Amino acid sequence: MRTQVAIIGSGPAGLLLGQILHKHGIDSVILEAKSRDYVLSRIRAGVLEMSTVAILDDIGVSKRAHEEGLVHEGINLAFNGARQRVDFAKLVGGSVLAYGQTEVTRDLMDARTAAGAETVFEANEVTPHEFDTDKPWVSYVKDGAEHRIDCDFIAGCDGYHGVSRASVPAAALTTYERVYPIGWLGLLADVPPAAEELVYSRHEDGFALCSMRSKTRSRYYIQCGADERVEDWSDDRFWDRLRELVDPETAESIVTGPSIEKSIAALRSFVAEPLRFGRLMLAGDAAHIVPPTGAKGLNLAASDVRYLADGLIEHYADNSDAALDAYSARALRRIWNAERFSWWMTSLLHKFDDGDDFARRLQIADLEHVIASEAAATALAESYVGAKL
């Protein structure tokens, strides 16, 4: 088989890249190690920057997002027993859209199927080859048979644990990492949200986040130990803990119900540099991880893909590699800014066992500064809403 771009991974990054390329007449094949149902079962983030929505608009995959997504013009910060709102619309004229990553993935999968573009699910032993030459190829095993795809480029969109970054020679790669000694225990339930916009709560006993996927489905998170087990958390225990960690107004508004899904996510900051290795380019979680506190994971993947697609489109349309040559540096500037913001939000709102009273008092002073200072609130709003691509 031959294609122009072999894409490894059918998460949002890989699917989004495939759809942009399809719009511009560039062929691609997506290889995915898991089944379609498995990919769609993964519960992930639910806040889209408007620059991400604009990409979906451009490729005609935003209809359901606009119909079902919830526009948020601010967030709430809860601390010292009270809730304070940061008004994005007033401060920076911006907003975000609450729409689940699973739904984005479903929309992109449906669009790819409608376009007749090929995705190979349950592709085992996927391996990129000779990407340091002008004739790269990818091998995989499907139903016991070995297959080969010859291509012009390979896009590694297969996540943190994927084969793409692992295939890069160690000497060519520099990585930066911070692993946090905490996790987020998340619960999804078909109950109305506790507030119209997200509530980020800093409590002396830990962090909590009240978010939503729709007007009837809510996603809640509480801080937990990195080594805790989901099995040890009953629904009742979760709801009781959540009420303890939020302000009284929010606690009173929480509607409880049986969980649809519960999971624990470890918190990690990670960046790999560079993002290009000959004809292999990394994008999304294959290149970087951010703690979810800043709502940047999916949005960073979308910006990576936009920049990478620009380079591939220019390569085929103009026989120029200028944009491809600039891809890594261009993407990394945005990545590191998002890493900074996500680290700051995480440090601001969580309880750390190694933190002393001085550190805790600084958290409160920082939160009070955000609420009292328009300049500080504007800086938060700018980062949360995201820059235009």
Q: State the catalytic residues.
A: 72, 200, 292, 296, 384
Q: Please give the Cα distance from 363 to 72 (Å, whole number).
A: 25
Rounded to the nearest 10°, the torsion over CA 13, 316, 138, 33 is 20
Return the DSSP state at 33.
Answer: S
Q: Please give the Cα distance from 150 to 214 (Å, whole number).
A: 43
Helix (H) or strand (E) holding 196: none
Query: Do 256 and 191 form a contact (C-beta atoms < 8 A)?
Result: yes
Q: What is the Cβ-side half-sphere exposure of residue 103, based on CA atoms within 13 angstroms?
A: 20
Helix (H) or strand (E) holding 112: helix 101-115
Name which of 292, 291, 315, 288 is nearest 303 in CA terms: 288
Whether the bond into 274 is cis, omega within 30 of 0: yes
Q: Please give the Cα distance from 180 to 186 (Å, whole number).
A: 17
Query: Do 383 and 337 form a contact (C-beta atoms < 8 A)?
Result: yes
Q: Which residues contact 294 (CB under 8 A, 6 or more apart)?
A: 338, 341, 342, 344, 345, 346, 383, 384
- Extract the tokens encoding 123: 């592709």
